Amino acid sequence: MTERTERSEGREDMRGRHRMTALDLLDIDASLGEEEREIRAVVRRLVDDRVRPHVAGWYEDGQVPARELAREFGKLGLLGMHLTGYGCAGASAVAYGLACLELEAGDSGVRSLVSVQGSLAMYAIWRYGSEEQKQRWLPAMATGEAIGCFGLTEPDHGSDPASMATRARRDGDDWILDGAKMWITNAPIADVAVIWARTDDGVRGFAVPMDTPGVTAREIRRKMSLRASLTGEVVLDGVRLPADARLPEAVGLKAPLSCLTEARHGIVWGALGAARDCLETTLEYATTRTQFGRPLAGFQLTQAKLADMAVEWNKGLLLALHLGRLADAGSLRPAQVSVGKLNNVREALAIARQCRTILGANGVSGEYPIMRHANNLESVLTYEGTSEIHQLVIGQTLTGVSAFA
Ligand SMILES: Cc1cc2nc3c(=O)[nH]c(=O)nc-3n(C[C@H](O)[C@H](O)[C@H](O)COP(=O)(O)OP(=O)(O)OC[C@H]3O[C@@H](n4cnc5c(N)ncnc54)[C@H](O)[C@@H]3O)c2cc1C
């Protein structure tokens, strides 16, 4: 570990003691239940102990002990925590959201590990899999012994998955898969990939063990964002699968899209975690650094920035809580999740950039977490539907007119 990383660990630990003080301007905390607050506290402690002290180094090195973390997250019941049965915790959507917020206050990459495992890979199997597939994968995934990934995006097909080129064709009872999936979180260490492919009958999903002959995963390096997360390309070259590898209940593109709605709900909360860490760092910095004989926090221009950011953060949390309560009531609609993802990621990124200005030159230093969060949020802005795609979803809901193509 570098000297710089060790110094940054000390600073992040110190900041941890001052957290969650003035930011909750609206007493939103008071509307959380006892169990929700307890889950949040447990995840916050885990992030303080296991993520915060190391994450600057992981980010810098582009490496993360993902398997080790997954086992620890599994022990706490964080993997697939909002699912029921098969070793999953069956927590509320709000509790899951709060966990995502705390994880992303550590790092968006660490939250992505949990989101992809629980909301994409596990949810797909839980919602669309056969009983055998559930028994085979879910208990091991809930403990973190098995890692899952979710392959929808392709090198030439991102926002428009309906045009995917990966094909699955029948050969007797078997299926043969050919194609490539790109930008797949967790792929380099995954044991199972949920792969979406075009068949003669439309899009279908498959649970593909990563050790099946013909499957290769190559890590995507040189990312400038989400560096504490493993991302890969999955190539499928004549991959022969038995008939029971297909997720029997997944029919058409609406199946993978429903998984994305699940995961986006976590992002609505998670992005606020990254923003909170930026704000808390900045509040402490602005009250301790002096220029022109007074703390930065004493300048009206700085206070205007802080006030505007805190207002946006509180609005974002109200929005997340509202959507979480709708999810718990079973009435959350995809367009509503688009409102949350569009707003909260966009505002979190704006907050990170504004906080950066208040730290001056230190804002670009890896000794503080702000540039890391800002860079991470660039990926969060793009994955699980770009901002433009969510604008189109909302636009279609408002006007009844599709402007996608
Ligand atoms: C770090 C990281 C991890 C990821 N993890 C996963 C994963 O685990 N699984 C997975 O399947 N995918 C994953 N992705 C992929 C991600 O979901 C896609 O990058 C995303 O859907 C956008 O696709 P694209 O990058 O091909 O961009 P494109 O679709 O090529 O879009 C490029 C730009 O054009 C805009 N655009 C596209 N269509 C329209 C339109 N109709 N109107 C207006 N503007 C439009 C977009 O908004 C964007 O600004 C990940 C991506 C990243 C960066």
**pLDDT above 70 as % of the chain:** 95
Over residues 370-381, the mean pLDDT reads 98
| Host domain of residue 97 | 28-143
- Best residue among 379, 382, 387, 389 to mutate for probing ligand 1's pocket (most ligand atoms within 8 Å of CB) is 382
Residues 132, 165: one domain?
A: no
Distance of CA 203 to the CA centre of its chain: 24
Atom of ligand 1 minimally distant from the CA of 185: 8
In a domain, 366, yes or no: yes
The catalytic residues are 384
Expressed in angstroms, the distance from the first to the final Cα of the chain is 49
Contacts (Cβ under 8 Å, ≥6 apart) of 114: 73, 78, 79, 99, 100, 103, 266
What are the Cα distances from residue 131, in Å, to 136, 150, 248, 258, 318? 8, 19, 10, 20, 38
Beta bridge partners, 197, equal 204
Q: Give domain status of residue 35, yes or no.
A: yes
Distance 382 CA to ligand 1 centre (A): 5
Count up the domains in the chain and report the number. 3
Question: 214, 235, 251 — which closes off a domain?
Answer: 251
Average pLDDT over residues 136-160: 98
Give 212-263 pLDDT, tens digit per residue.
999 999 999 999 999 999 999 999 999 999 999 999 999 999 999 999 999 9
Same domain, 384 and 295: yes
Clarify whether residues 190 and 64 are in a common domain.
no
What pLDDT was estimated at residue 316?
Answer: 98
167 and 132 together in one domain: no
Over 80: is that where the pLDDT of 6 sits? no
Residues 117 and 159 in one domain: no
Residues 247, 163 share a domain:
yes
**Cα of 157 from ligand 1 centre, angstroms:** 8
Position 259 in a domain: yes
- Taking the CA of residue 187 as reference, the ligand 1 atom at the shortest distance is 8
Do both 376 and 244 map to the same domain?
Answer: no
4 belongs to a structural domain:
no
d(CA 198, CA 168): 6
pLDDT at position 18 over 70: no
Q: Which atom of ligand 1 is nearest to the CA of 384?
A: 17
CA distance 18 to 14: 8
10 assigned to some structural domain: no
Residue bearing the bigger pLDDT, 6 or 88: 88
Q: Using an 8 Å Cβ cutoff, are 265 and 95 in contact?
A: no
Given 236, 251, 266, the domain boundary residue is 251
Average pLDDT of the chain is 95
**Residue 39 and residue 135 in one domain:** yes
Q: How far apart are CA 24 and CA 110, in angstroms?
A: 24
- CATH number of 77's domain: 1.10.540.10
* Distance of CA 20 from the midpoint of ligand 1 (Å): 33
Q: How far is CA 297 from CA 37, 101, 306, in A?
A: 30, 26, 9
> For ligand 1, atom 53, which residue shows the shortest CA distance?
379
Taking CB atoms and a 6 Å cutoff, what residues make up the pocket around ligand 1?
116, 150-153, 158-159, 183-185, 226, 231, 379, 382-384, 386, 388-389, 392, 404
Q: Which ligand 1 atom is the nearest neighbour of the CA of 120?
A: 8
337 and 372 co-located in one domain: yes
Q: Whose CA is nearest to atom 31 of ligand 1?
A: 159
Question: What is residue 22's predicted lDDT score, i.e. its pLDDT?
Answer: 87
Residues 6 or more apart whose CB falls under 8 angstroms from that of 254 comprise: none
- Interval 261-296: pLDDT, tens: 999 999 999 999 999 999 999 999 999 999 999 999
Q: Which CATH number does the domain housing residue 203 bear?
A: 2.40.110.10
> What is the CATH classification number for the domain harbouring 314?
1.20.140.10
Q: What tens digit of pLDDT does each residue of 98-133 get?
A: 999 999 999 999 999 999 999 999 999 999 999 999
Query: Where is the domain boundary, 196, 228, 251?
Result: 251
Do both 233 and 126 map to the same domain? no
Supply the DSSP string of 125-161, one letter for each residue. Answer: HHHHS-HHHHHHHHHHHHHTSS-EEEE--BTTBSS-G
Global pTM value: 0.95
Q: Is 167 found in the same domain as 139?
A: no
